[in-house]
Amino acid sequence: MHIVIIGSGVAGVSFAEKYRALSADDDITLVTREHDGYYSRPLLSRGFTKADIEQSIILKPFDKLRENNIKVLCDAEVTAINRIDKSIAILGSQTLLYDKLILAQGSSAFIPPPFRPYNKLFFCLNSLVDLKALRQFRQGFLDQNHQTHWAIVGGGLIGCEVASDLAMAGDKVTLFHAMDRLMERQLAAEDSTLLLKVLQDSDVKVLLNQAVQEFIKKDDKVCVRTEVTTEFDGLIVACGFKPRIELAELAGLETGRGIKVNQQMQTSDESIYALGDVAELPNGKLYAFILPIRNQALWLAEFLAGQQLESWTPPVFTTKAKVHGFEAAHPYNV
């Protein structure tokens, strides 16, 4: 059997390694747009206080997977899934046949439609490539002994984590949030209040109830316009994530917020499965957190190897914000 996996995050790599441990003979090919290796995506938001982050974030080079008889095609862009002949098309390359296809592409940064015309004016933080670009931009100011002044738009999990880390690294940060409290989806109201105080104590300027209208380029500055217009050195948009379901949609698979799967992680095509951020379970939930994603991947490997008969059920898990000095008093909403 030839198993093809699209995506090299925790879902794709955990599945590949577990399935290889259970089956020495089946072909496993992992196709990814990444080239640096398998890395810890949660550590991206700590990418400014850790000097060696570009190396320490790598959990496993792709060559380590290849040593385990897992084929890895990196820097590869999958453009289509052909369900009739069971193949995927790779940009500028060959088609690749599969018996079972695992969709584990994760999610991309969500850019609100009003911001999309200004995409050249801001950064996102969704990959190691993004982090490297941010660090290189910031280094230009460090080389001039200039304190970088950042605007971050979005007071959710990632926005708060990045604001905290940049402030701890010595930068000046202003955080814009559209709602009346921070991380309103994850935190109880009193924990949002505590988070606000922690960020303010680290010299992050937090502006709530902010309707950001546009971004403007002015010489070497970028301006954020709300009721007033403010200049910054750099701008980061952190307004959440969007599951990468485009390939599935083009292939005619059933989709909603994510790619719809049953309790066996199987899509509307019996030969195609989905894991992680992209997988929408029958209860309508997407389990976009490390522990359940890894649990899904290990379960599916056992299921396809014939060693798991029960349906997948989400494990008990918690999450927490990586904000320096912040501990929530109540459980997070997950």
Q: Please tell me the distance from the alpha carbon of residue 138 to that of residue 134, in angstroms, as a whole number.
A: 6
Task: Name the nearest CA neighbour of 105 among 31, 40, 35, 20.
Answer: 31
Helix (H/G/I), strand (E/B), else coil: 250 = helix
The domain boundary, picked from 237, 265, 295, lies at 237
The answer as to whether 204 is a domain residue is yes
Q: Are 26 and 66 in contact (CB under 8 A)?
A: no
The domain boundary, picked from 181, 206, 237, lies at 237
Residues 10 and 100 placed together within one structural domain of the fold: yes
- Helix boundaries (H) for the chain: 10-22, 53-56, 62-67, 128-143, 157-168, 189-201, 246-250, 290-304
Residues 120 and 230 placed together within one structural domain of the fold: yes
According to DSSP, the residues that pair with 190 across neighbouring strands are none
Residues 132 and 173 placed together within one structural domain of the fold: yes
Helix (H/G/I), strand (E/B), else coil: 119 = helix
Residues 94 and 151 placed together within one structural domain of the fold: no
Q: Are 6 and 104 in contact (CB under 8 A)?
A: yes
Helix (H/G/I), strand (E/B), else coil: 63 = helix
Helix (H/G/I), strand (E/B), else coil: 301 = helix
What letter would DSSP give residue 44? G
The residues, any chain, with a CB within 8 Å of residue 45's CB and separated by 6 or more, are 125, 158, 161, 162, 165, 322
- Which range marks the domain in which residue 139 is found? 111-237
Residues 77 and 170 placed together within one structural domain of the fold: no
Query: What's the distance, CA 149 to chain centroid?
Result: 25
The domain boundary, picked from 194, 215, 237, lies at 237
pLDDT in tens, the chain (334 residues): 999 999 999 999 999 999 999 999 999 999 999 999 999 999 999 999 998 999 999 999 999 999 999 999 999 999 999 999 999 999 987 899 999 999 999 999 999 999 999 999 999 999 999 999 999 999 999 999 999 999 999 999 999 999 999 999 999 999 999 999 999 999 999 999 999 999 999 999 999 999 999 999 999 999 999 999 999 999 999 999 999 999 999 999 999 999 999 999 999 999 999 999 999 999 999 999 999 999 999 999 999 999 999 999 999 888 889 999 999 998 888 7
Q: Please tell me the distance from the alpha carbon of residue 100 to that of residue 97, in angstroms, as a whole number.
A: 9
Q: Are 289 and 334 in contact (CB under 8 A)?
A: yes
